[in-house]
Amino acid sequence: MSVSLLLPMSAFALAASISPGPVNLVCLSSGTHYPIAKGLIFVTGATLGFIALFLGVGAGLYSLLTTVPLLEVLLRWAGVAFLLYLSIKLAMDDGKLPEQASAKAPGFMTGALMQWLNPKAWLASASGIGAYTSGNDLTQIAMFAALYLPICWLSLASWVYAGASLRRYMQNPRFLMTVNRALAALLAASCVLLVLD
């Protein structure tokens, strides 16, 4: 792989990973509600889930979806249902910060599953592979994934830290409920966009 491609690949990975999306909103919410370590467990699951998806798309999974349109429809609706479920849970939160690490914090598997149900992750994988690799060169795809891994993890972690920095301003449960409902509305709005797209 050409060294001249590393910078554009890195820029693409950063833009795709740090830009707002469903996973980033859950990272932000996790940072406001739970200890940073809990949020970073979710980040690790989301990052590894994305890398597995990225490698799967590179190995031909995306072409399978375009060949069998029903699979793409099922994936889209599963993603919408999962995001709606998360938005409802967030909207129903009472705004009280847990005093200890809570079992209901989104964990590793939630993060990994979210990426597979996240159309943004599928689009980032397909467009990144299409733009920066020859598409059928698994060595190039694996190197791109290795470059993506730390960038994705650090990008998502920055959202957790942003949430944690906001926590000191969110001691008021009513204010936190308002923030939760705003985040829930953004998640639900992303579902509407997925349905209309």
The closest of 58, 192, 67, 33 to 50, measured between CA atoms, is 58
Decide if pLDDT at 103 tops 50. Answer: no
> How do residues 24-46 score in pLDDT, each as one tens digit?
888 988 898 889 999 999 999 99
* Structural domain for 30, as ranges: 3-196
pLDDT digits (tens, 9 = 90+) for 122-158: 878 888 888 888 767 788 889 999 999 999 999 999 9
Cα–Cα distance, 139 to 130 (Å, whole number): 14
pLDDT band at residue 21 under the 50/70/90 scheme: confident
